[in-house]
Structure formats: C-alpha cells, structure tokens
Amino acid sequence: MSELVLQSLYAGLLAGGYYALIALGLTLIFGTMKVINLAHGEMVLLAAYIAYTAESVYGINPVLAIPLAVAAVVLTSVMVYGLVSRIRQDRELNSLILTFGIGIVLTNFVLMVWSADIRSTNVPWFNEPVVIGEAFYSTSAQVLFFLAGLGLTAALWWWLGRSWYGRALRAVASNRNAAMLMGVNPRTTEVISFVIAGLLAGIAGVALYTVAVIHPDLGHNLTIKAFVITVLAGLGSIPGVLVGAMLIGVAEYMTITLASSALQELTGMVMFLLVLFIRPSGLFGSRGRVG
Amino acid sequence: MRAFPIAIVAACYLVVPVVLGSNDYILSLVIAALTLAAIALSWALLGNLGGMVSFGHAAFFGVGAYTSALLAKDLGVPVFLAMLAGGAGAALASVVTMPALRLRGPYFALAILAYAQIFRILANQMTGVTGGAGGILSIPPLPTVFGFDFSSKLGAYLVILTLLVLGILAYKAIRDSYWGLALKAMHDSEDATRVIGVPSTRLKAAMLVVSAFMAGVAGAFNAHVIGFLEPDYAFAGTWSVIPVVAAIFGGYRTLSGPILGALVIYLLDQLLFKTLMPQGHQIMFGVLLGAMILFSPSGLLPLLTKPFARFKPAKRTPTPEKRHAAAA
Amino acid sequence: MTFRSRSLACTAAAALALLLSAGPGSATDFAIGSQIAMSGALARVGMATNEGVTVAVEMFNRAHQGRHSVKLTSIDDESNPAKAVSAIERMAPDVQAFSGGYGSNIIGPASETAERAGKVYMTSGGVASELVKRGLTNFFRINNGEGYSRALVGLFGDLDIKSVAILHSTKDATQEVAHQVEDGLVGRGVKVSTHAFDPAISDFKPVLHKVKVLDEPDAIVMIGYENDYVGILRAARVMQPKVKLISGVWSLATGKMANDFPELMQNVVGTSTLPYPVAFTDPEAQEFAKVYKELYKKAPDYLGVFGYVQTKLLLDAMLRADEAGTLKQPGGIAAELRRTATETLIGPVRFDERGDNPEFTHRMGQHQGKQVVLVWPEKAATGPVKFPATPW
C-alpha cells in the first residue's frame, strides 16, 4: 500500500506542474486586468489542435510545433484583448459574457475544422515510461511539462517582479491613473499581458496534446480547472498557482489511490471550498487584493 | 404607466395560446426559453439585490429537480405539491452553501460552482436514492386539474408563465420593501450599513434562499416537462451559464431584462441560427453575445428603449414612476 | 463579409429546399426524421451514426427509384435531452417514423416524445436496459448492453480467464454494461474487481497501479470511450501489469483506432461488427460500403453500420406497411417491425414485445498488426485469437 501512496504523491506533484502550466495564462490576465478569460481553455485547445495538424500532416514533432501553436494563440489572445478593451462599462461582468461568446465560437471552429474525433500524439517518445528506482512511474511528456510548468512559473514570477514591463503591469493593475502619470502606457502593458498569456496557453496546449487526449468539447473543462487553481492561488499570485495546482493534483491522485477515481473531482471541489472558507482570499491572496 | 406591463402579461395569457396553441414545436421552445428565464430571474435577484454573482445556479436547479421528481415518482406526491417541495429542497440546499457568503466577487461565484459540481457527484454516487448515472426515466408529467391537461404543451406554457409572473411579483415586492432599500444601501457601502445596524449577512442569506427557491421550482418544472433526469443533465453547466448570459444580455438590473434576454437568445439560436446553420449555429450565438456586449453593454432593454427615450418628457428629476417604467 | 454571404447563401438554399419539398406533385411518399448529436459531447458518435442512416436512405431511394422515395430530415440535438425533445416535436408532424438518437439519456426522453406523437422511434445508440422497461409500444432498438457483455463473457470463457479487473467510466451506459459484464463473469466463477473512473480523468496510472499491485488479474476490461481507452493503454504500458489480455467493448476494435493509434492498440480485443480492413462478402454489404464511400469518401465504421441497419429495417417495415395500407394507421409500422426476423450486417435481428432485439450478440475483434481480426464467435471468426498477448 505504501508504494501506491508514494507513487500517487509523486504523480500528483507531476500533474500539479502540468496543471499550473494550464492555469498560468488565466491567472496573469485575471491578476492584471481583473478579467476572467472564459475562452482560455479553448485557446489552450486550439494550440493542441495546431500541434496535432503539425504532427499528422507535416510530420513535425509537437515540441517543435510550439512556435506555430504559440503564434496562433498569441494572435487569438491579442484579438481577445482588442475586443475586451472595447467594453465600455462594467468590464468585470461584461467581459465574462464576451469571452464566453468567444469560447463558443472557438469550440465550434475547432469542431468544424478538426471534427469531433479524439486526437493525441503518436510520437512514441512522449509516452515512454520514465521509472525512477522501480517506484516512481511517469511518462517523458509528464516529466517534460512538469519541468516546463516549474520553469515558466518561475520565469513569470521573476518577470513580473523584476523586469520593467512586469512592474509596469503590476502598477497598472493596482492603479491605472497613477501608472499613467508615471509614464506607463496602460494599453501597451495590457497587450503585453495578453501576449504572454497567449504564449503560456500555447505551450500548455502542446503539453495537453502530448500528455492527454484531446477532443473539441474539452475547452470548457480546462477553463474551469484553470479558474479553480487561480482562485485557490489567491488573486494574481504566481507562486500560489504552483502550490494550488500541486495541492489539487495530489488530492486527486490520493483520492484515486485510497478511494476511487469516481470521487476525484469531489475531493478537489471540497478541498477548494475548505481552503476558501479558511482563507477567503485564496492561499496567497492578501485581503486588500481581493476584488 | 402600469397598464403596459399588465397588458403584456394579459397578452401572454390570452393571445399567445391562441396564436401558438397548435404548434407544439414553437410552444416547447417557448417553454424551454421561459424555464431559462425563470433561472435568469432568480440569478438576477441574487445579483441585483444581493450583489452576488453566482456561477452555479445549476446547484439549486438540480436539487429542485431531483427533489420534486423523486417525491412525485417514488412517494406519489401530487406534482404541483412536489414542485413546491422542490423549491423548498433547493432553498434548504442553499443553506449548505451559506459559508460562501463570506466570499466576494469571483470567489463567491466559483464557490457556488463548486457546490453544483459536488451536488452532481453526490447525485451520481447516491444510486439508492437518485438512480445514479442512469438517472430517472418516466417522471410523472404535470397533472390534469379540473379537466385541463397541464401536461400538454399549452398547459406547461401556462404553468411556467404563471411561475414567472409570481417570481416577478415576489422580486418586485422584495425590491420595493424595506429589505430592498437596505440591500440597495448595502450595495453602495456595506461597511456603512453594518454600522447603522443593517444585518448585511442575514439579508444576503435571505436573498440566496429566495433565489435558490425560484431556481429550484424552475428545475422541478423542467423535470416534469422533460420527464427525465440524470446528474449530468440536472446539474449541467448550461443551467448556470445560459441564465447568466440571458440576464446580462437582457439587462440584469431590470425586472424584465432577464426574461427578455432568455427569450431572445434561446429563440434566436434555436429558430433562426439553427435553421441557417444546422451545424455550428452556436458560432452565431457566440458572435451575437460578443456584439451585444460591445454595442449595448447594459443589455438589450436599454437598446430597445433608447429610440423611445426622446419622446419622454425632460428627465431632470427621476420620479419613482420613471424608475418603475424603466425597470418593467 | 464571407460570414454574411455564407449565411445569405444558406438562407437562399433553405428557401429553395422549402419550395421544392412543398411543391405539388412531389414524389416523396415516405419521410423519416433523425434526431442526433452533431455537436456537444456526443458529436462524434452521433455524426458517425447519422452517416449510416443517410446511406440507408440513399440506397433505398436508388433501389426503389420511380416507385418510392424517402425523405430524411436530420436535426442536431446538441447532445442535450431537452433539445432532442424539441427536435422530435419539430419533425413529428412531417415524418412517419424516427431513426436516430445516441446516448440512453437522450434517447429516453426523445423516444417518449415520439411515443406521445404515435411515431416509431428506432435506434442503436441506447443500450441501457431501462429503455425497454418503460412499456413503450413504438420504441425499437437493434442492440443492447446484454449483447456486448455476452460476447465478452463468451470469449473469456473460451480463453479460460480466471480473474478480471473491470475499469469503467461513471457514465450511464458504461456503468450499466460494466455491471452486466461483472454479473456474467461472476456467474461463471471468475474473480472480478471493478474500478470506476471519472469521465474527465486523463492519467490512469494510479488506477492501473492498483490493478497491478492489488488485483493481479488475468485480464483487464475497459468500458469507456475512445479517450479513456487511449489513456488506459498508455498507463498500462508504463505500469506493465502482469495480464494476459486487455479488452473492452465499443469503439475499441475499430479501423479508426487501428489507424490513429496503431502502436497502442496491438493485441487489444474489443467488440466489433466488422473486420478491418472491411472484407465484405455478401452483395448488400458491398453495396453499402460502395455508397458509403461515394458519400463520405471513407470506409464505414461500426457506428455507420448500426445506423444503416436500423434505418434499413425501419424502411423495409414502412414499405410493407405501405403495401398493406397500414402506413398511416396508428401502430401500423410498429406492427410490421415486430414481424421482422432477418439476417443483417450485425447478425440476426428480431424484435420482442418491448422493442428489444433478443438475438443481438456482438462479435469480438482483435487488433493484429494494422488489422482488426474477428476472433469470436467461431463461425464469424476471420482468424485465431492471439493469447496471451498485450500491447507491449
């Protein structure tokens, strides 16, 4: 039994890195603009399908297709910003409807272009077993994108905290007018946050395509998962995303091991509620930042 | 100014049955749209009066549906009574969700969504009571009362219309009451109202219960009309999302906005878009939503009333009548 | 601009179609409706089934050219019960019967609506036993959960498998078939353990780990959908439980899986109506494959075969009812359907009082190389079963 528990701990942490990758883009935009991009999951899915086309039609390895996927999703993301920034009033609420509408359009676009068939990579490398010490089982893709999740979280954290644009972004998020007076163009920084979010969603999509199986109906679930992690993390907290994602991952895998997979979502949701009831603004959110 | 809404309601009762009475298909679309309208109204009540945006009204819709269906099918409770019990069951379920009242904004919204998911999984797992994933087939339909068959399309239409009218009256009564005033004050400044002694959490809790009751009755109605329930359907995300979209689309701060919104988006999608594009008609729906938000962000109602605005007398001091007119 | 012009074109086409169909002297004497998922969670299976329905209609029209014609209307139910009900209501006044539906949960309310309208509802998309326990007189289906479990249990009996781990999705149909397989196996003295999984799961390693360490079965049975199968097989390759066979039910031993995931599928066994590549021997099947190819530029898959068979049986019954003058009478088509007793592409079909097909037994196919070989029952087999054999 103990080997089962150890394995699920390990697998849960790995999954956490991958979940963080999926959530990061949403968190960034939520943190900087208080906009919940309900089309986020669909953007991740779009990247996954581009990786699929690259592999199945042109024989390009999905990892090498990342630039292509990222380009398409960044473009989509900037278009989403173009629309969201046109909302004249009540942006927090109205952006929900707008991005929900964009999500519907994207889902049906994917359905029409790629049909409803399930897809996943056929490059054997991604699903080769990686077994550490006869005890910890995983696949190459899981390890790869766990590391990518860690690396991108760290990079994003560093970028927001240290770089000029990152600090400008945070300045615009906390006080738009003051930031403008300091010579920061809020529109530029907001566009940049959407570009970065698109970049992250693009990489997440390729991860999705190689780690799991994709179908057009998946986008909505991804958005919810990303959103849960974002809220769990605390508004806009980047390290919180990683911690929250790993918490969800470990809770899910432990539930499968100790009880049943049928209950994994239940555990995730109950844990989510408990964390919020104990810390109403998320794991790493400070009270003042609650919107 | 009050004659107008009454005229519309009268038309709904008298003219619509005569015009559409024989067309089951159109009537069933209207019934589905009005069911969504009922949830949208309950959502708007919570959002507008309580100041809380919920992403999980499916939780209350589903609990109401299951309560009513099980009471009617397994215990033989008369359907209309069971529907009332469905509302009560949903209200009871809302008590379980009350810890979420501490949360604000998206945190509250998502907490309610989590409850909806939890209820769905419980309904899946409690096979002894709910029938599990297989669901419940052949739920008793709406009854025949005094020789009138409410299970017919026309009957169902009249039932949901009546439920909706009752819902509007309740909403209006709350809004215009002392409570409504307190809630409005709370909106403007929660801390200030707390200082002058308005129990804000209790007021919010009350709104949550009322809203859950309304959504629960809508769920119960739908269960008896469709005659079928399963956890994935009863607690489906659609029941959470479409009413939100409808309410905001129509203008959620008004009384009739959510209803108008539900009717317009559902009927447009099913009648027009689906005919034009049998597959992928949701794309047009998505475009419509986006266009609406960009071109008329406070909803459809202001868009419709704008052309008439200039015929109104000068609007320097908004009178109470005016507020009602805009709201109705 | 393209969006606008396309919708204009659509409107024009719709108006034209309306004019043509409503015009006097129309040769249409039969009309059937298909309510089926073309979007949402069931889009893939729904569309594949509908292709079979369309092919059956096309073949009927060719065969009876000049004497009879049938008009098919298909409406997308968006994988939603309420929309399925309104689709039925919309078509009911204009059609004599329905052929379609996918998912027991959608077929349930849709067929009850058809029953109220007094129209036959024929399907192959719902295997739940509840469906035939409702006392409907106009409900018919050509397959059922029992047929799937009978085939699986039959093959396992022949292979003398002593212990089995069943992995099943918590969806309605999968849960039901899992119970039937479990009952069947336990009845034969096989040791069975079951693991339910959430439909949203993508990493099955923890489940497979439990199977490997705690159950140590001879065989694994997967009851889910395509994405689940891919996930389970990938996890099994990593965990390498010591099993002799990996098997499952629908959507598994198919040409699509052989094409899309050739490495993963080796030696996996699943229910199957056809070998792959399809080697049709009788003329009807060859004709079917030919028309299918003409319309959809691909070889038929098993869902298409089911859609075709159900529709063909329905149209044959309508033809007989027409000759007997009972087509437009209440219960006329249903009565003719109850007289059906015929051999079809999926095996023998007849309908009992409840509209179920008691003859239905699936065949079992195994992925071998790039092919799917039928391995059970013996009389339908196109090759021997490889056993013990796993994908790795």
Q: Would you tell me which residues 244-263 of chain A have a C-beta closer than 8 angstroms to some C-beta of chain B?
A: 262-263
- Tell me, rounded to whole angstroms, the distance of Cα A267 from its chain centroid: 20
> Has residue C355 been placed in a domain?
no
Enclosing domain of residue C194: 146-278+363-380
Cα angle vertex B254, ends B251, B258, to 5°?
55
Count of domains observed in chain C: 2
E runs forming strands in chain B: 136-137, 144-145, 148-149, 228-229
CA distances from B38 to A60, B163, C123, C310 (A): 51, 8, 34, 40
Query: Tens of pLDDT along A202-255?
Result: 999 999 999 999 999 899 999 999 989 998 898 778 999 999 999 999 999 999
**Mutation test of the interface with chain B: which of C90, C104, C131, C179, choosing the one with the most B Cβ atoms within 10 A?**
C90
Same domain, C179 and C268: yes
The neighbouring-strand residues paired with C367 are C372
Same domain, C273 and C295: no
Which of B99, B102, B248 is the closest to A94 by Cβ? Answer: B248
Q: State chain B's maximal CA–CA distance in angstroms.
A: 64
Peptide bond into C377 cis (omega under 30): yes
CATH code of the domain containing C36: 3.40.50.2300
How large a percentage of chain A has pLDDT more than 70? 98
Enclosing domain of residue A136: 2-289
Supply the pLDDT for residue C292. Answer: 94
Same domain, C221 and C151: yes
Backbone angles phi, psi at B128, to 5 degrees: -60, -40
ipTM reported for the complex surpasses 0.90: yes
Below-70 pLDDT ranges, chain C: 1-28
Same domain, C231 and C273: yes
Same domain, C168 and C244: yes
Q: Would you tell me which residues 177-216 of chain A have a C-beta closer than 8 angstroms to some C-beta of chain C?
A: 211-213, 215-216
Contact between chains at C112 and B29 (C-beta distance less than 8 A): no
CATH code of the domain containing A267: 1.10.3470
| Tokens matching residue B22 | 């024989």
Contact between chains at C112 and B228 (C-beta distance less than 8 A): yes
Count of domains observed in chain A: 1
The terminus-to-terminus CA distance of chain B in angstroms comes to 10
User: Could you read off the pLDDT tens digit of each residue along chain B, which spans 328 residues?
Assistant: 467 888 888 888 988 888 887 788 899 999 999 999 999 999 999 998 888 889 899 999 999 999 999 999 999 999 999 999 999 999 999 999 999 998 887 789 889 999 999 999 999 999 889 988 888 888 999 999 988 899 888 999 999 999 999 999 999 999 999 888 888 877 777 666 666 666 778 889 999 999 999 999 999 999 999 988 999 999 998 899 899 889 988 888 889 999 999 999 999 999 999 888 887 888 988 998 888 888 887 777 777 776 555 444 444 444 444 444 444 3
Q: Structural domain boundaries of chain B? A: 3-327
> Has residue C325 been placed in a domain?
yes
Q: Tell me how close the Cα of C164 comes to any Cα of chain B, in angstroms.
A: 23
Rounded to whole angstroms, the Cα distance separating A162 from A148 reads: 20
Which positions in chain B touch A98 (Cβ < 8 Å)?
Answer: 289-290, 293-294
Contact between chains at A257 and C43 (C-beta distance less than 8 A): no
Kindly give, in sequence order, each residue whose CB lies less than 8 Å from that of residue A107, ignoring residues fewer than 6 positions away.
A42, A45, A216, A217, A219, A220, B282
DSSP H stretches of helix in chain A: 2-33, 40-58, 66-84, 91-114, 140-162, 164-174, 176-181, 186-211, 219-233, 238-258, 264-278
Task: Print burial letters for C348-364: b (CB count within 10 Å at least 16), e (below 16).
Answer: ebbbeebbbbebbbbbb
> Has residue C7 been placed in a domain?
no
Note the pTM of the prediction, 2 decimals: 0.88
Below-70 pLDDT ranges, chain A: 286-291
Which of C39, C81, C105 is the closest to B279 by Cβ? Answer: C39
| Tokens matching residue C369 | 């190389």
Rounded to whole angstroms, the Cα distance separating B57 from B235 reads: 9
B132 to chain C, any CB pair closer than 8 A? The answer is yes
CA distances from C32 to B13, B254, C392 (A): 35, 45, 47
| Interhelix angle B105-125/A264-278, nearest 10 degrees | 150
> Do C87 and C110 touch, CB atoms closer than 8 A?
yes
Same domain, C367 and C272: yes
Supply the pLDDT for residue B282. Answer: 87
> Has residue C298 been placed in a domain?
yes
B3-327 CATH, one of 1.10.3470, 3.40.1350, 2.40.50, 1.10.1200: 1.10.3470
What 8-state DSSP symbol labels residue B48? I
Contact between chains at B230 and C112 (C-beta distance less than 8 A): no
Which of B32, B230, B274 is the closest to C172 by Cβ? Answer: B230
Same domain, C157 and C257: yes
Q: For every residue of B114-177, which 3-state class applies, written as one string?
A: HHHHHHHHHHHHCHHHHCHHHCEECCCCCCEECCEECCCHHHHHHHHHHHHHHHHHHHHHHHHC
Same domain, C139 and C158: no
> Has residue C84 been placed in a domain?
yes
| Tokens matching residue C351 | 């309908």
Supply the pLDDT for residue B198. Answer: 67
Contact between chains at B110 and A227 (C-beta distance less than 8 A): yes
Contact between chains at A265 and B121 (C-beta distance less than 8 A): yes
Which of A15, A139, A217 is the closest to C40 by Cβ? Answer: A217
Which of A3, A111, A265 is the closest to C198 by Cβ? Answer: A265
A92, exposed or middle or buried, with CB in 10 Å at 0-12, 13-18, 19+? middle
